[in-house]
């Protein structure tokens, strides 16, 4: 089969295989604020995978059919089981594994290594199991509540934390899972990894640095979001949380976190840029 038709068949098969899991995710986790950024990660990962495949298409060779068949038996059983019980996380994981092994079948092991980063990046769109997300969100809720109240009191606001609840004058606020920041942290780490991959060709040191910087920056942005909401409740009352201000604050906090991440990356990368310019000038002389 010509390479062009083979690639079209690859994407068609992957789309058909992934469709049930995507529909399940869109009806469950993507409907919530916590999972609203997952489609963005999926689109960016798909675009990156397409670009890397196009740049390395000359290295494409078919993989082993027997290896693909053996893997697909286990993957298909897991996919069927997850779809039957409507377990979105397991269905998404099985769909990702099936897409990856099908990618290997059509394009071979060399292309699989070339595209390791975008394929792993796509896995970040898979929702975390409930046991993991509940534990992490619980820790983040407690941490955010403590630091948000401390910062609000430093700004002169009448805020008190008692048994996980934030008391602002006569109002009682609770940091929910959507505001805890696990989803925004994962999304920010994903975008930071993608940025490092495209700027520096996937160097592991800089990629790891971007991921490490993204976590505290995302948490800081969420703390600022909670403090601003406390301030608004103190001034306007709790009715302000029923307006579009609440979801808009999530978008703004993520935008702020992304800007801070890019600024931090620029600062970390500044010595290399200065050193590079110095080397080029010396060589020119």
Q: Specify the DSSP element, H or E, that contains 161.
A: strand 159-162
pTM for this predicted structure: 0.68
Q: pLDDT at position 71, please? A: 92
DSSP readout, 47-93? Answer: HHHHHHHHHTGGG-----HHHHHHHHHHHHHHHHHHHHHT-HHHHHH
- In angstroms, the CA 212 to CA 206 distance is 10
- In angstroms, the CA 161 to CA 14 distance is 49
Axis crossing angle, helix 245-284 with helix 182-200, rounded to the nearest 10? 20
Print pLDDT tens along the chain (285 aa).
Answer: 566 676 677 677 777 777 877 777 777 666 665 566 677 778 888 888 888 888 888 888 888 889 989 998 999 899 888 888 878 788 888 988 988 998 898 888 999 988 888 898 888 878 777 677 777 777 777 788 888 888 888 888 888 887 778 888 778 887 776 666 667 677 777 777 787 777 765 566 777 777 788 888 888 888 888 888 888 888 887 787 778 887 787 778 888 888 888 888 777 666 666 665 544 333 333
Q: pLDDT at position 160, please? A: 84
CB within 8 A of 19, min separation 6: which ones?
A: none
Q: pLDDT at position 284, please? A: 39
Helix (H, G, I), strand (E, B) or coil at 163: coil
Taking the CA atoms of 226, 229, 231 and 237 in sequence, report the sign of the dihedral they define. Answer: negative
Q: Is residue 218 a contact partner of residue 136, using CB atoms and an 8 Å limit?
A: no
Q: pLDDT at position 74, please? A: 92
Helix (H, G, I), strand (E, B) or coil at 103: helix
Q: pLDDT at position 152, please? A: 85
- In angstroms, the CA 7 to CA 258 distance is 34
Q: Which two tokens stand for residue 204?
A: 């592991």
Helix (H, G, I), strand (E, B) or coil at 156: coil
């Amino acid at each position: 089969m010509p390479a062009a038709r083979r690639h079209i068949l690859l994407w068609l098969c992957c789309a058909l295989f992934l469709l049930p899991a995507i529909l399940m995710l869109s009806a469950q986790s993507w409907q919530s604020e916590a999972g609203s950024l997952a489609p963005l990660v999926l689109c960016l990962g798909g675009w990156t995978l397409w670009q890397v495949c196009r740049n390395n298409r000359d290295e494409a060779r078919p993989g082993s059919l027997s290896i693909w068949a053996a893997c697909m038996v286990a993957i298909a059983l897991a996919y069927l089981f997850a779809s039957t019980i409507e377990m979105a996380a397991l269905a998404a994981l099985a769909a990702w594994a099936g897409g990856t092994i099908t990618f290997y079948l059509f394009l071979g092991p060399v292309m699989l290594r070339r595209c390791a980063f975008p394929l792993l990046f796509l896995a970040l769109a898979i929702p975390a199991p409930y046991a993991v997300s509940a534990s992490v969100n619980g820790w983040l809720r407690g941490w955010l509540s403590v630091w948000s109240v401390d910062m609000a009191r430093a700004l002169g606001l009448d805020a008190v934390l008692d048994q996980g609840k934030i008391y602002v004058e006569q109002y009682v606020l609770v940091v929910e899972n959507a505001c805890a920041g696990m989803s925004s942290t994962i999304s920010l780490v994903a975008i930071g990894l993608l940025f490092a991959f495209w700027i520096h060709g996937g160097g592991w040191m800089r990629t790891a640095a971007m991921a490490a910087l993204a976590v505290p920056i995302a948490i800081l942005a969420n703390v600022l979001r909670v403090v601003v909401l406390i301030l608004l409740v103190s001034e306007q009352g709790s009715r302000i949380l029923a307006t579009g201000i609440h979801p808009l604050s999530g978008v703004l906090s993520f935008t702020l976190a992304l800007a801070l991440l890019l600024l931090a990356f620029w600062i970390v990368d500044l010595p290399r840029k200065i050193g590079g310019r110095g080397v080029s000038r010396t060589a020119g002389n």
